[in-house]
A = this chain, B = another copy of it.
Amino acid sequence: MDNRPIGVFDSGMGGLTALRQLVRLVPNENIVYFGDTGRVPYGARSSDTIVKYARQDMSFLMQFDPKAILIACGTVSTTALPILMREYDLPVYGVVEPAVAAALKATRNKRIGIIGTKATVRSGSYAEMIRYLNREIEVFSKACPLFVPLVEDGRVHPGDPVLSCLIDEYLSEMVRAEVDTVILGCTHYPLLTDAIGAYLGDGVRLIDTGLESSLALREHLFKSELLSDREGSGTVSYYVSDSAADFKALASVFLGSEIVQDVRRVDIDKY
């Protein structure tokens, strides 16, 4: 039993899709969320800048003495997770391993697609982990660099002409490759589930990395006897690196409900 909070961070708003799942799965945990909205997006930046930013994000969250960290960001999970795991002496969960496990369970025809930011695809993390666990799987990766700007601009509806055009451009090779499972390798992408699902059809299973990593974290906390014994709901505290008001105004799109708590602003470059 451990009543310390869980720390969650993301490059900006995308991680809220994972937070939403985590709150649903472990409602009586205290959670501290940091979104680096002043420096979003991470996905087209170089590896060393992503590592530098991720270290600052971790360093900020460490102040709250967390019992575990969930990196609710595909780009950081694929580019910086091994480094952060070496540097910090607490459980640090990323989105790669849980999503890969779910994809391996889901696929019937052993053809798995992975979509993510440029940095995520460049890292090769998903493809390597899949091949490490099962050499028979064929993997098809595709960087979708404009999905994050589109989602951050609120263009998530299946009928949006720009979104439709990009989905066709990015995903037509997944259709040709006849994948039956696609990992949504960026925590922004669950907002595109309807649009991507409609394009790929019912036969293709979409893996939500935020859901899978939240399930894995809950299991870890349970097995390690680190779940809280708090009665009633835990609290969620929000911190961001750009305007708190802007974050609050947009968050409901990602979170599915309004943020009623205060959102606090942080000078992340001081960490």
Interfacial residues, chain A to chain B (CB-CB below 8 A) = 37-39, 44-46, 48-49, 145-146, 149-150, 152-153, 161-162, 165-166, 169, 241-243, 245-246, 269
Contact = CB atoms under 8 A, between A and B. Distances in A.
Q: How many copies does the complex hold?
A: 2
Nearest to A245: B46
30 contacts: A37-B45, A38-B39, A38-B45, A38-B49, A39-B39, A44-B152, A44-B153, A45-B242, A45-B243, A46-B242, A46-B245, A46-B246, A48-B243, A49-B241, A49-B242, A49-B243, A145-B149, A145-B153, A146-B146, A146-B149, A146-B153, A146-B162, A149-B149, A161-B165, A161-B169, A162-B162, A162-B165, A162-B169, A165-B165, A269-B269
A244 B162 CA distance: 32
Given A45-B38, A49-B38, A269-B269, A150 B146 contact: yes
A241 B269 CA distance: 13
Nearest to A243: B46
Contacts of A162: 146, 162, 165-166, 169
Contacts of A48: 243
Contacts of A152: 44
Contacts of A269: 269
A166 B165 CA distance: 11
A127 B68 CA distance: 50
Contacts of A153: 44, 145-146
Nearest to A118: B153
Nearest to A149: B149
A200 B157 CA distance: 28
A142 to B, nearest CB: 14
A165 B246 CA distance: 27
A161 to B, nearest CB: 5
CB-CB nearest 4 A-B residue pairs: A269-B269, A46-B243, A149-B149, A49-B242
